[in-house]
Structure 1
Amino acid sequence: MPSEKILEQKKEVVSGLSKKIKEAKAMVFADYRGLTVEQDTELRNALRKAGVEYKVVKNTLTRFAAKENGLEGLEPFLKGPTAMAVSNTDPVAPAKVLAEYVKKYEKLELKVGVVEGKIIDEKGINALAELPSREVLIAKVLGGFNAPISGLVNVLNGNIRGLVVALNAIAEQKNA
């Protein structure tokens, strides 16, 4: 039986994990078994650059934290070595970076993901990774808003141009 001190430490870890899960826009769990130290360091640097927190988690403690947040569906995936990539701001970033490194390193395997409280499988993670970045999506939306306005301006300019051409033709006719 573990001591009171150890139980309190584990409760604190579960509480911290539970808070991370609650605040996360997206999480991806992966099996990192077989990665070299250099590969893992490269992966961690890429995730850090994308604003994603990455850490190795204990499956049992993660199960408790997931259960506290109503994510009992994670339990079957929490076996073997597990790393968790979490983003509180960008729901696409963890999936995008990990999917890129899964292609690069065969030994890295995606397990499961959670986006906005919904559990997604490996196919869902890969589909999420294929989405354009947030900046590209915003640019497309703004471009869509701009298109009707520029079309209206062209129509109005066309009518004014037509009127100017007609008036010019009448003026030339009267001069002749």
Structure 2
Amino acid sequence: MDRAQKEQVVDELGQIFESSGVVVVAHYEGMTVAHMQDLRARMREAGGSVRVAKNKLAKIALEGKPCASIADYLTGMTVITYSEDPTAAARIADKYAKDNERFVILGGAMGDSALDPAGVKAVASMPSREELIAQIVSCLGAPASSIAGAIGAPASNIASILTTLEEREAA
């Protein structure tokens, strides 16, 4: 790899570290090509990506970035999983680590917060962005349906009272 290619890789990694909601670093020693393809497919399906890069170039790319604290994890055969969704990469990496003993999570970062393996597991257990939006929408919709019910209830009560009065007068 010549100098221009290395600079391009450093720029790409720098953009990844700046724009990702979460970055997870893991060892992948002993994984087969099929395992890596499976990991990439799962990550892509969840809206994330997988990147294998030279540790030295990744450390250069981390300089001055909010998640610079993960530089300590970049030793040995490491792979970086990342996503814009603050939970997707952590969730997929955590599930994959349970299925594949050769995939070992070292830690990660969420913004400028460093995450140890337990922190990655905690982020993985958080609801996704879409789930949070759905919960907020349901909370916003609940008062509206309650108001509609409250407004409609007195009218139905009045109608039933009037119907009862009419029946009494007719009798």
TM-score normalised per structure 1: 0.86
- Unaligned 5+ segments in structure 2 are none
- Unaligned 5+ segments in structure 1 are none
CA–CA distance in structure 2, aligned partners of residues 12 and 136 of structure 1: 36
Deviation of the 1:84 alpha carbon: 0.8
Q: How many aligned positions are there? A: 171
Q: Aligned-residue CA RMSD in angstroms? A: 1.9
1:119 counterpart SS class = strand
Pair 1:102-2:97 in alignment: yes
Q: Percent identity?
A: 29
Pair 1:90-2:85 in alignment: yes
Which of 25, 38, 43 is residue 47 of structure 1 equivalent to?
Answer: 43
Partner of 1:173: 168
Contact 1:18 1:68 in 2 (8 A): no
Partner of 2:62: 66
Q: Where does 1:1-176 land on structure 2 (aligned, <5 Å)? A: 6-87=2-83, 89-176=84-171
Residues 152 and 122 of structure 1: CA distance in aligned 2, closer, same or farther (over 3 Å):
same
Listed one character per residue, the Cα deviations across residues 31-84 of structure 1 (whole Å, up to 9, x for unaligned) are 111212222221122112222221211111111111131444223211111101
CA–CA distance in structure 2, aligned partners of residues 55 and 113 of structure 1: 14
Deviation of the 1:156 alpha carbon: 1.6
Residues 102 and 17 of structure 1: CA distance in aligned 2, closer, same or farther (over 3 Å):
same
TM-score normalised per structure 2: 0.89
Structure 1: 4+ residue segments shifted above 4 A:
none
CA–CA distance in structure 1, aligned partners of residues 130 and 25 of structure 2: 25
